[in-house]
């Protein structure tokens, strides 16, 4: 029987299981089986890593009770990946000779050892469909300076892992070859060719065509001609389509995405009679303008801004009628960062993996708006009526300006033991400022350093929304909706989800303070 996992709370609605290396996929299967049997509430995500499994969206106490005395070995219904996926590879990578030098062999021996290895997908992360393959018996150091672009299909080594880049991206792994196999396809089920637990073998071939990259469906003007549309006149600094995001696929390296200020997005939808999860436009600082092809009802919430219809000022934060052919213009935010624009019927771009959201980290979903682009709008339902303001959306009204203060309630863990007692006092007492380098991935904070107890390497582990990751420089980073699914720096704590909307509306220079508490049953140090 396998050893019982160590369970560590991650905030108040998630937990990390620390398990034996190589067993994370099996523990994930057990958690999903317990949920299918009704013995555990359905989790939002179950994400394996090398030594851990993150169970997100379940009370840690409830999870501990469900797992008591259980083991993956007892779960006969757990899925197994018995079939071997074969990856044809041309071994002509730029770093092949360097890998041979590290191993003290020639390049032919590197190829022979690589093709003779039985690999298993330990976990996915970094990018959608990027699989961390275990099985190597020797290590390879990363490049000291990552390349700015690694081509799609590159086969690479780092540490004791092998990986294949599903799409072109920066990377510091050592390139030994290339393949044309498509690793990620949004039209497939599952979209990732190599989910956790999959067995993989590489075979040497003489030539391969260029690797194909996933091209998510996108609504172009020609595709929506004759339908209800908004045509972009002024895209603003960054305007994207957002809804509640795409959950349940973090184990495949797919971020959640979605509106950063969810209360504001819900309120805008409610005002125009939409379901609260309908797709809206999220602007950044400088608003957006577009021409409507048909009469519709619009509402703008979130960061306050001047709203005009054909140059005539209209009220912010209420449902307003916009006639056909009129230009709707949302000006620059007078406070906060992000405004939300809802149209009766919603923004009807093609969903990608269950969501219409733009994900800036992975590139999934429609691209940020550009001048001249036309977006399709849905038809309002006959029963749709503008709804009233709801107390559940009150958080969207607390907009923080450049000199305001944001208080973040933080539950310590799961990696607070990586930090000194003095570092935890610094976090409790310190004053931080929002960095201009912040974005939809996360808010970078400038202020007193939160020092590690010692400098050492950490195994990659899954990340949750609101996780406060601390890199070696000691400056905290609070993850927002486009955050990566895994990370290799310790997480000192998790911010209460109800506080993230205010943080997303905080301008560079805004003051941030933490209210720190320890998870139930642990020492506050």
* Per-residue pLDDT at 490: 95
Judge whether residue 524 has pLDDT over 80.
no
- The arithmetic mean of pLDDT across residues 287-316, rounded, is 97
- The arithmetic mean of pLDDT across residues 344-364, rounded, is 95
* Per-residue pLDDT at 340: 98
> What is 392-424 written as a DSSP string?
GGGGGG----TT-EEEEEEEE-SSGGGB-HHHH
Q: Identify the CA nearest to 42 among candidates 27, 60, 56, 24.
A: 56
* Per-residue pLDDT at 223: 42
Domains 84-204 and 405-517 share a fold: yes
CATH of domain 6-74: 3.30.1360.40
Question: CA 360 to CA 222: how far, in whole Å?
Answer: 24
* Per-residue pLDDT at 94: 96
Question: CA 252 to CA 332: how far, in whole Å?
Answer: 37
* Per-residue pLDDT at 113: 97
- The arithmetic mean of pLDDT across residues 67-84, rounded, is 69
* Per-residue pLDDT at 216: 46
| Residue 353 and residue 189 in contact, taking contact as beta carbons nearer than 8 Å | no
- Cα 286 to Cα 243, 282, 310, 317, 333: the distances in Å are 20, 11, 18, 17, 6
H-run or E-run covering 82: none
- The arithmetic mean of pLDDT across residues 325-337, rounded, is 97
Judge whether residue 61 has pLDDT over 80.
yes
* Per-residue pLDDT at 399: 66
Q: Which residues of 100-133 are buried (b: 16+ CB within 10 A; e: fewer)?
A: bebeeeebeebbeebeebebbbbbbbbbbbbbbb
* Per-residue pLDDT at 342: 98
* Per-residue pLDDT at 77: 40
The span from the first CA to the last CA of the chain, in angstroms, equals: 35
CATH of domain 405-517: 2.40.100.10
- The arithmetic mean of pLDDT across residues 45-70, rounded, is 95
Judge whether residue 411 has pLDDT over 90.
yes
- The arithmetic mean of pLDDT across residues 99-103, rounded, is 97
**CATH class assigned to 84-204:** mainly beta
* Per-residue pLDDT at 402: 46
* pTM tops 0.85, yes or no: yes
Mean pLDDT, the chain, integer = 90
Q: What are the sequence ranges of the domains in the chain?
A: 6-74, 84-204, 226-397, 405-517
Judge whether residue 395 has pLDDT over 60.
no
* Per-residue pLDDT at 403: 53
Q: Which residue has the higher pLDDT, 397 or 98?
A: 98
Highest mean pLDDT (candidates 65-74, 81-90, 362-371, 381-390): 362-371
Q: Which residues pair with 299 in a beta bridge?
A: 342
Judge whether residue 146 has pLDDT over 80.
yes
Q: CA 48, 84, 54 angle in degrees (round to 5)?
A: 5
């Amino acid at each position: 029987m396998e050893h019982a996992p160590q369970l560590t709370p991650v905030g108040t609605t998630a937990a990390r299981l620390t398990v034996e290396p190589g067993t994370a996929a099996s523990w994930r299967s057990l958690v999903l089986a317990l949920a299918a049997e009704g013995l555990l509430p359905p989790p939002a995500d179950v994400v394996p890593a090398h030594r851990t499994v993150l169970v997100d969206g379940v009370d840690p106490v409830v999870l501990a009770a469900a797992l008591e005395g259980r083991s993956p070995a007892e779960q006969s219904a757990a899925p197994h990946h018995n079939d071997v996926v074969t990856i044809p590879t041309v071994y002509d990578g730029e770093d092949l000779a360097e890998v041979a030098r590290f191993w003290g062999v020639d390049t032919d021996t590197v190829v022979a050892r690589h093709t003779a290895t039985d690999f298993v997908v330990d976990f996915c992360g970094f990018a959608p469909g990027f699989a961390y393959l275990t099985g190597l018996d020797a290590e390879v150091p990363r490049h000291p300076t990552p390349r700015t672009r690694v081509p799609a299909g590159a086969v690479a080594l780092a540490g004791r892992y092998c990986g294949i880049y599903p799409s072109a991206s920066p990377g510091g792994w050592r390139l030994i070859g290339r393949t044309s196999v498509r690793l990620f396809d949004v039209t497939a089920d599952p979209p990732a060719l190599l989910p956790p637990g999959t067995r993989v073998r590489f075979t040497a071939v003489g030539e391969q065509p260029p690797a194909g990259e996933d091209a998510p469906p996108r609504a172009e003007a020609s595709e929506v001609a004759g339908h209800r549309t908004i045509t972009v006149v002024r895209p603003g600094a960054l305007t994207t389509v957002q809804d509640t995001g795409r959950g349940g696929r973090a184990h495949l390296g797919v971020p959640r995405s979605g509106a950063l200020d969810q209360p504001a997005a819900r309120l805008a939808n409610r005002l125009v009679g939409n379901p609260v999860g309908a797709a809206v436009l999220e602007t950044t600082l400088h608003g957006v303008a577009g021409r409507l092809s048909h009469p519709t009802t619009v509402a703008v919430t979130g960061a306050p801004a001047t709203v005009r219809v054909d140059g005539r000022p209209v009220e912010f934060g209420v449902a307003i009628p916009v006639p056909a052919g009129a230009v709707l213009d949302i000006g620059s935010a007078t406070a906060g960062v992000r405004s939300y624009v809802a149209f009766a019927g919603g923004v009807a771009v093609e969903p990608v993996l269950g969501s219409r959201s733009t994900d800036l980290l992975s590139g999934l979903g429609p691209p940020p708006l550009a001048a001249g682009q036309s977006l399709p709008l849905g038809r309002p339902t006959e029963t749709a009526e503008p709804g009233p303001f709801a107390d559940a959306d009150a958080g969207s009204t607390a907009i923080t300006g450049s000199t305001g203060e944001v208080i973040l309630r933080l539950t310590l863990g799961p990696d607070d033991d990586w930090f000194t007692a003095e570092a935890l006092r610094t976090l409790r007492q310190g004053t931080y400022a929002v960095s201009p380098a912040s974005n939809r991935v996360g808010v970078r904070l400038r202020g007193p350093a939160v020092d590690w107890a010692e400098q050492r390497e950490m195994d990659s582990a899954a990340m949750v929304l609101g996780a406060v990751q601390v890199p070696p420089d000691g400056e905290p980073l609070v993850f927002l909706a486009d955050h990566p699914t895994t990370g290799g720096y310790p997480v000192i704590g998790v911010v209460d989800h109800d506080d993230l909307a205010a943080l997303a509306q905080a301008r560079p220079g805004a003051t941030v303070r933490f209210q720190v508490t320890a998870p139930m049953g642990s020492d506050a140090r």
